């Protein structure tokens, strides 16, 4: 073989060996990191039970919940889920829940009732006392009555934060924490989307529960609730623009204390969540760089 050809062959062999070595000793490519998903739950008294239907569908479909935020009833359901209890366990507790478990009628100049019992609810019914006890990072929203600003809790005791988040104006007496008079979070953060972003969520699924219904009000609580529902419909709802996906279970015809209709409320949440699945998967695909068709073909 001519010398020139011999050199070409040797050069090719050396190059091939080098490529094999690079392949053999290369660092393995790590898995594509998926986007972190936050679920923001709005308030709604007994209507909040619909959140369980949403969470059940996400769980069944393998869509992870990395962060939770909640306002009012959404805060209570978020604590329940983040505590590590199973959906069936939470459902059983929801079915058994009545007004006496979290409130007591106690007329004062600041409200019709006290929700002081809520302070003990996480420990008594869920076995958790602090945010550190939870399995999923959580933020709870309340409203500063003096400034109108949203106040978020993500550390310390769960009880006071839950009480403040659920202190529905006119019904429950405001809750004072560190010198601030706090009321229900729905006034400043009806669905705490920004809170989910702030604790790490790349994608935020917002769950909103409309309170308005066509029934004639039968109590002062109904009048207060319907009035705030009208205000919300006409408000500039910035959270809608910030959410990636909005799920709206049809619960407007349920009353604020319809705890005995737990099965129907859960079904409403499941129906709305299943309808939103294509949008959820598309958002995950867009954030993670995967093709939508690939995500739709199986789990996330």
CB 69 within 8 A of CB 134: no
Catalytic residue among 66, 72, 144, 165: 72
Cβ of 125: how many Cβ atoms within 10 Å?
19
Q: How far apart are CA 39 and CA 139, in angstroms?
A: 11
Catalytic residue among 184, 194, 202, 244: 184
Cβ of 234: how many Cβ atoms within 10 Å?
7
Residues 6+ apart with CB under 8 A from 183: 142, 143, 145, 164, 167, 168, 169, 172, 174, 175
Sign of CA dihedral 100, 106, 107, 112: negative
Active site residue 129: no
Q: How far apart are CA 293 and CA 161, in angstroms?
A: 42
Active site residue 72: yes
Q: Dmax of the chain from CA atoms?
A: 107
Residues 6+ apart with CB under 8 A from 104: 113, 114, 116, 117
Active site residues: 72, 184
């Amino acid at each position: 073989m001519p010398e020139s050809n011999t050199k070409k062959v040797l050069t090719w062999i050396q190059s091939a060996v080098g490529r094999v070595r690079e392949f053999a000793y290369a660092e393995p490519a790590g898995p594509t990191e998926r986007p972190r998903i936050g679920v923001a739950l709005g308030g709604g008294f007994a209507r909040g039970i619909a959140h369980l239907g949403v969470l059940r569908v996400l769980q069944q479909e393998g869509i992870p919940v990395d962060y939770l935020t909640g306002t009012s009833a959404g805060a209570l359901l978020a604590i329940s889920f983040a505590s590590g209890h199973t959906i069936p366990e939470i459902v059983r507790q929801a079915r058994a829940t009545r007004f006496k478990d979290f409130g007591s009628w106690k007329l004062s100049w600041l409200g019709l009732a006290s929700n002081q019992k809520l302070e003990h609810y996480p420990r008594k019914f869920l076995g958790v006392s602090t945010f550190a006890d939870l399995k999923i990072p959580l933020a709870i929203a309340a409203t500063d009555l003096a400034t109108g600003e949203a106040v978020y809790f993500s550390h310390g005791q769960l009880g006071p934060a839950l009480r403040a988040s659920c202190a529905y104006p006119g019904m429950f007496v405001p809750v004072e924490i560190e010198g601030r008079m706090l009321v229900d979070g729905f006034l400043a953060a009806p669905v705490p989307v920004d809170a989910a972003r702030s604790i790490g969520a790349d994608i935020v699924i917002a769950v909103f529960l409309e309170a308005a219904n066509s029934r004639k009000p039968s109590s002062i609580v109904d009048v207060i609730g319907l009035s705030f529902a009208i205000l919300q419909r006409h408000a500039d709802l910035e959270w809608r623009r910030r959410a990636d996906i909005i799920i709206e279970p049809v619960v407007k015809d349920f009353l604020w204390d319809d705890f005995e209709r737990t099965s129907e409320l859960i079904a409403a949440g499941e129906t709305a969540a299943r309808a939103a699945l294509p949008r959820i998967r598309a958002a995950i695909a867009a954030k993670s760089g995967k093709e939508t068709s690939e995500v739709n073909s199986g789990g996330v």
